Structures are given as structure tokens and as C-alpha cells.
Amino acid sequence: MQSTSENEDEARAQACARRRDLPDIVTFMHGTGVRIGEALAVRWCDVDQEGVPVVDDDELRAVPIVAITGNVVRHRGKGMHRHAEKTETSLRIVPLPRFVVDMLAKREQHGPEVPVFPAGATRGSGFNWKDPNNMSTYIREARQAAGMDWSVTSHTFRKTAATIWHDSGVLTDRQKADLTGHAKISTLTDIYVARGELHPQGAAVMDAAWLDS
């Protein structure tokens, strides 16, 4: 049974994680398998919550999507910068699971070019890009506050997504590579699985895993 002090510490840790936007960012990374810098680079103009028309199993349906078109990096002397992706494997469309769409629907939108997960500006008005390095630190601190004795990093959620897609047995290696943004299928199989095109099955598989968790 937890003491009053332990309960207070846990409540403070949870409040701190919410202030840092960790729950929503982790949900987004888990549901899409994107890298931390890619998640922080997503703008509202990159998201289509209503969905694009896609023929799936001979049926036309709307599939909510996010376009992964950039990456947030820190440049010495210039601060945070959104770097536009240029390769075919980094530029990709990822279908959004319902639990991610529901999370996004609750967030405030401040304009199409504004980050979905913004950092408040330190000077003047407007919004800045969150620092991927800081977010990685926050994830580690949240893990420690929760008393988890195994390593959890921002990459853990990407690996988890890749493993869920793999273990479903629904997606081909090519589809899994498209979703995670790997040019070589072997990179996905050898590194990310622990045991170009839009693939709606990826979202369906992720929703099923979310409901089972």
C-alpha cells in the first residue's frame, strides 16, 4: 500500500508529464511508429482527421492520415529548426488509428503551420518547436518516477509499433517498411522487430492492439 507521500509524488509526476505534453506525444508515436523528431515536426496542415478516400477490401472509405514531411533538429547557434524531409523513405503517409484521431480532436489548433505539439514561445507571441532531446529526457524522468526498472526511450514506442505491425501477420514486409519509412526491408526486420503507400490495415492493427492492452 502506497503512503501519502508516495501518492503525492506520483500525482506530481503525472501533472508534470501532462504539462510537458508527454501523454499525447507518446500516444501519437505509439500509434504511428514515427521518430520523436518527426512527431514534433508534425503541423496541423500535415494532418487530415476527416480522412482521404481509400479503396480497402473493395470498399471506399475515409482513412485519417498524417503526412510525415519533416524532422525537428537543433542547429548550433540557430536553435530549434524544422528540417524538411527529402528522401522517398522519410516522406510518407501514415494512417491514423482511431485512438490517435480521438486524442488529436481534443487538442487546440492554432493555425495550419503551427506544430501539433508546440512549445510556448519564450519571447513574444507564437509557438516554437519542442526539443527532441528535452522530450527524451522527460520520457526518462517519467519512467524513473513511475518506478520502471527497464529502459524506455522515445525509440521504444517506434519499436513497439513495428513489432505490433509485424506480429499481426496482416501486413507484408513492404507495407511495414512503408509505414516505418525504411528503404531496406531488412532494416525493419533485423533491427525494429524485436521477436510511399498508404496501408489502412496498419491503423486497424494498431487500434486492435490498443483495445487489447
Q: Along the chain (213 residues), what's the average pLDDT of each consecutive run of 10 residues?
A: 59 82 92 91 92 74 84 81 71 86 93 90 68 88 77 76 77 75 57 51 71 66
CA distance 71 to 83: 5
Residues 173-182 as b or e (16 or more Cβ within 10 Å = b): eebbbbbbbb
Strand ranges, E, within the chain = 47-56, 59-68, 70-75, 79-84, 92-95, 118-120, 127-129
Residue 25: predicted pLDDT:
94
Residue 192: predicted pLDDT:
44
Residue 195: predicted pLDDT:
43
Residue 187: predicted pLDDT:
53
Max CA pair span of the chain: 57
Count of structural domains within the chain: 1
CA distance 69 to 56: 24
Residue 115: predicted pLDDT:
94
Tell me the CA end-to-end span of the chain in Å, nearest whole number: 25
What CATH number did the domain enclosing 60 receive?
A: 1.10.443.10
Domain that holds residue 100: 4-212
pTM to 2 decimal places: 0.75
Structural contact between residues 44 and 108, judged by C-beta atoms closer than 8 angstroms: no
Map grid coordinates 492554432 to a residue. 110
Residue 143: predicted pLDDT:
80
Residue 95: predicted pLDDT:
84
